[in-house]
Every structure is written in C-alpha cells, then in structure tokens.
Structure 1
Amino acid sequence: MSLPTENKIELQVQKGIRQAEDNLVIWIQAALDNTKYGDLEESQFRNLLRVSDTTDSTEVIKNFLRYQVGRDKKWGRGKDSLAEKIVQDIDGNIKKTAQSIAESSQGDFKPIWLELIRRYLGYGSRYLKYLKDGKSL
C-alpha cells in the first residue's frame, strides 16, 4: 500500500471518529444518568480509563471492569448497573460504530474500536466529575 493511500485511510478514520464523538458523549452520559451505582469516585473511573490506555484488548478492559464490580458495589451490580451498561455499550453501540467507520474508510477495525472506547471512557470521567462536583453550581 502506498503512503498516500495509508494517509488517506488514516484521515478518513480520524474524520469518522470525530463524527462519532457526539454519540460517545451521549451514550456515556446516559449510562451515568440512568444506571445504578454506588459512591463511584473519579479515581476509580480514571483507573478504568488508564487500563484502556495501556492495552490493545477490549476484553482486558471489560475484565478489569468486572473485577472492579467483584471488589465492591461502587460500579453497581446486576443488569441495571453502570458496569453492565458500559460493557453493553462497548459490545453494542461502540462496536457497531467502529465497524461502520472501518468499512467506510477501509481502516483497521480493532484500533478504531479501542480509540472509540478510550474516548467514551474519557468523556465518562469528565461527566462523573461534573456529577460529583459541578451539578450544584
């Protein structure tokens, strides 16, 4: 593959990711607004974000989240929990969006999926900060 073609694919991938950002924000805000979870601290959410930044595996991210659920109730429990909603979004909305971007740009699916997950979790960390400290302003 020639370099100009690789650059064109990368530009199309980045454009697709930018166009998906509104949905990522909407999905994580809905997850935080409409699920059950305990006194989740920003640092715990940032730990999940850190795991997503240090792995190339979506399964490792989900495994870490499930491990956190097993440790305490701050992520919620059961089908209405924040943890379960995040896993559903990763395997559902985010995966479908990544597949669509990969198909339209001819880009590699897995790195696109990981980038979307990382952004989704990053927006979640910001929104949790707002819910904890900014809502009463």
Structure 2
Amino acid sequence: MSEQSDPQKQLKIQKGILQAEDELVVWIQTALDNTKYGDLEESQFRNLVRLSDTTDSAEVIKNFIRYQVGRDKKWGRGKESLAEKIIEDIDGNIQKKAQEIAKSCQSDFKPIWLEMIRRYLGYGARYLKYKRDGIQV
C-alpha cells in the first residue's frame, strides 16, 4: 500500500498539520506586524496563495516572492522586509515543523511542508485583509 493510500498515515499527518495551525497563524501575523512593506494589496498576496496551490515546489514559491520584490517595493526590500521574513519562515519555522510531523508519521516531509506553506500564506491573506480593511485599534 502506498503512503498516499494509507488512510491511517494520512489521518496522522493531517492531525499533525492541524496541531501546528496556531503556530502558522502566529508566524504569518508576526511577519505582517513586524516587517516593512509598502502598500501591499490583498489581491497581490492572493496571487502568491494561488501560485502556492498550483506548484509542488517551495523553491517556485520563493522565486515568485523574489520576482515580486524585483517588480516593486510593495513586498518590502532588504532584511526587514515582509518578503524576506516569509522566505525565512518557509526555510526555517515551517520546514522544521514539517520535518517533525514527517518524522513522527514516518512520511515524506515535502508534501507536508508544501501544505503548511499553503496554509501559512492563506492565513496571511486573511490577516492582510484585516489589517487593510479591518477596524484599526
């Protein structure tokens, strides 16, 4: 039986990802609250979310972010930019957590990592919407 068709293993993987969701939300909210970026629109962030849904490569996602930085300053520039923080989270916090889940489930970590990146970015799009259009306290 392949790993994909093993329902017990898939259930355990999904449980691990669900248990990591609070961390994913906190990481992206921290990134949006504590980095420098310009007038980034929700639609631009959603483009990144859409790309993440259509690729099986973390490198493609990071490449798209870097491309956006090259196009304009809305993602920020330099070490304190939103773009760099997202890439840092993808290669750091998210990758490490995905490896922990994969190890505990005896599974390939890459699909777990990609699912977690997608969720992280999706939560980011929601939080950006709140920051841009929500009631600012």
TM-score past 0.5 threshold:
yes
Q: Distance in 1 between matches of 2:2 and 2:75?
A: 46
Kept in 2, the 8 Å contact 1:75–1:82? The answer is: yes
User: Shift of the alpha carbon at 1:136?
Assistant: 3.2
2:48 corresponds to which residue? Answer: 48
Q: Distance in 1 between matches of 2:106 and 2:98?
A: 11
1:90 corresponds to which residue? Answer: 90
The structure that is helix-richer by fraction is 1
Paired residues, what number?
Answer: 136
* Cα distance change on mapping 1:136 and 1:112 into 2, 3 Å: same
Q: How does 1:87-126 map to 2 (within 5 A)?
A: 87-126=87-126
Q: Does 1:77 align with 2:77?
A: yes
Question: Percent identity, aligned pairs only?
Answer: 76
List gaps (5 residues or longer) in structure 1.
none
Q: Distance in 1 between matches of 2:84 and 2:24?
A: 16
* Cα distance change on mapping 1:78 and 1:10 into 2, 3 Å: same
Q: Distance in 1 between matches of 2:9 and 2:56?
A: 20
Kept in 2, the 8 Å contact 1:98–1:109? The answer is: yes
User: Aligned Cα RMSD in Å?
Assistant: 1.4
Partner-residue secondary structure (3-state), 1:61: helix
**Residue deviations 1:49-105 (CA, integer Å, cap 9, x gap):** 011000000000000000000000000000000000000000000000000000001
The amino acid across from 1:68 in the alignment is: Q
Q: Does 1:10 align with 2:45?
A: no
Length-normalised TM-score, structure 1: 0.96
The amino acid across from 1:78 in the alignment is: G
4+ runs deviating over 2 angstroms: none
* Cα distance change on mapping 1:13 and 1:71 into 2, 3 Å: same
Q: Distance in 2 between matches of 1:61 and 1:2?
A: 27
Length-normalised TM-score, structure 2: 0.96
**Residue deviations 1:3-57 (CA, integer Å, cap 9, x gap):** 8x81111010000000000000000000000000000000000000011000000
Q: Distance in 2 between matches of 1:8 and 1:96?
A: 23
